[in-house]
Structure 1
Amino acid sequence: MDFAFMRDTFLTLMGGVPLTLNLAFMSVALGAVLAMLLALMRMSRVKVLDWPAQAYVFVFRGTPLLVQIFLIYYGLGQFRPTLQEWGLWTFFREPYWCAVLALTLNTAAYASEIMRGGLQSVPHNQVEAARACGMSGLLLFRRIVFPIAVRQALPAYGSEIILMVKATSLASIITMMEVTGLAAKLISQTFRAVEVFIVAGLIYLILNFIITRIIMAIEWWLSPHLRRPPAIEPRLEAAHV
């Protein structure tokens, strides 16, 4: 392998990292809002809310993300006159917004099930204890239910964030020059696929390593009851005796 070429390739592909992170975190942030709405709809026990949420999750979890991107970017382009009439064409003609929309809709389906599991895992006795202290409604959800649900769902949701970082590579098929898009362009110029894709994989590995550590730090911060108590120094222990 040509390590000098790989070094230059690394510097070139690093130029796509900001767009990769932008796509990932934009879609995760918007998807989290939609996922929470879907989770609450699923838990409402109201059929008119539950059934559409179930159908949404079934469709977007059961179809490939690649197909969803194609349908949004290329498929909706067939309805350009209608979209222009509704004033939506300026949105759907941009590959960036089409990629964000597809990634958001896809991650919301998975994240809604993660959030629903986290909300359902909140111990009932803690909810009852909070009600006995006078909490109810939004205050109960904000102070008790939501923090516990976030702590329970964070490991699985962290995996979903990592998956979305990797899923941004599919945006390259609609001309987005993120890491994979730049890698494909470089391969077409140099015909050195092995070195380029090794470097691209290394960049994704570094990004996901950093994200993993951040998620672990947040999980540690949200779980003070799981931290080990500080060791008692011998002098202090002797003085106590």
Structure 2
Amino acid sequence: MQALIDWFTALLADNTIFNAQTLGYYGSGLVTTVQLVFLSLVIGLVMAVPLAIGRSSRRRWISLPIFLYTYVFRGTPLLIQLYLIYYGVVFFEGIQETWLWVFLEDPFVPALIAFTLNTAAYTTEIFRGAIKATPRGEIEAARAYGMSQRLMMRRIILPSAFRRALPAYGNEVIFMLHASAIASVVTIMDLTGAARFIYARYYAPFDAFLFVAAIYLCVTFAILYLFRYLEKRMLAHLKPVEQ
């Protein structure tokens, strides 16, 4: 372990690769990555809650379209979805003459759309499974109190489902962080894009990508720690009481 730390310290001491300019590229790439992942997760989460409720509905005309949406986006690679959205936008006739083109010409927006639709599909199925796993006793108790279906969903089912879905959703957050590395293929200067730029400039792929891998690792550990803390707080009532 000490040898690894010494080697990494020597790597950072290499002024050829790690200087103020390259560290600026890494910092800018980290900000772009965090923005892309955070926005896609927030928007995807907002979309997933009503979609999960609709997916749990017994009405086929509600649940079937949502099932088809989640099936397509979970059954195809995120990279293909990104390519289709990024390159497919220009094929809509007249879109370049509309106000939408001001936003769509920035590669960040098509990437955000692709990432949001993808994570929303996965999160929908995560929450749908958590909703279906709601204990019958909780539902019957809510009905005994005279709660309507909407009130029961808001006060009983969704809070309980969110607690159960938290571990799986934590994995989805980490997956989106790692999947964000493909954003660089559509010219976005994220962490991986910064590493590719520095590699092309200094011809040092090992150093550039290893440093980026270390950054991804640190962010992943931070996310793991956050979700461990949330699970500890929100699932504390499930721990056995010590005698």
TM-score by length of 1: 0.88
Q: In the alignment, what sits opposite 1:57?
A: 70
Task: Count how many residue pairs are aligned between Structure 1 and Structure 2.
Answer: 230
1:30 matches 2:35:
no
Q: Is the 8 A contact 2:54 2:62 kept in 1?
A: yes
| Identity percentage of aligned residues | 40
- Tell me the distance in 2 between the aligned counterparts of 1:84 and 1:49: 34
Partner of 1:236: none
Deviation at 1:11, TM superposition (A): 6.3
Q: Say whether 1:178 aligns with 2:190.
A: yes
Please tell me whether residue 17 in structure 1 is matched to residue 30 in structure 2: yes
Deviates more, 1:53-62 or 1:205-214: 53-62
How far residue 16 of structure 1 moved from its aligned partner, in angstroms, is 1.6
TM-score under structure 2 length normalisation: 0.87
Q: Tell me which structure has the larger Cα radius of gyration.
A: 1
Q: Classify 1:17/1:228 alpha carbon distance in 2 versus 1 (closer, same or farther; 3 Å).
A: farther
Unaligned runs of 5+ in 2: 1-6
Say yes or no: does 1:134 pair with 2:146.
Answer: yes
Tell me the amino acid that sits aligned with residue 58 of structure 1: Y
- Within the candidate set 172, 192, 195, 2:207 is matched to 195
Structure 1 runs of 4+ with >4 Å offset: 6-12, 227-231
1:123 paired with 2:128, answer no
Cross-structure match for 1:40: 53
**1:39 CA drift (Å):** 1.5
Q: How does 1:197-236 map to 2 (within 5 A)?
A: 197-227=209-239, 229=241
CA contact (8 A) 1:10 1:200 kept: no
How far did 1:174 drift?
Answer: 1.2
Q: Secondary structure at the match of 2:94?
A: helix
| Equivalences for residues 148-163 of structure 1 within 5 A | 148-163=160-175
Structure 1 residues 199-208 or 82-91, which shifts more? 82-91
Counterpart code for 1:107: T
Partner amino acid, structure 2, of 1:19:
T
Paired amino acid for 2:65: P
1:91 positional shift: 2.6
**Which runs of no fewer than 5 residues in structure 1 stay unpaired?**
232-241
Give the aligned CA root-mean-square deviation in angstroms.
Answer: 2.0
Is the CA contact 2:45–2:123 (under 8 Å) kept in the aligned structure 1?
A: yes
Picking from 65, 82, 85, the partner of 2:94 is 82
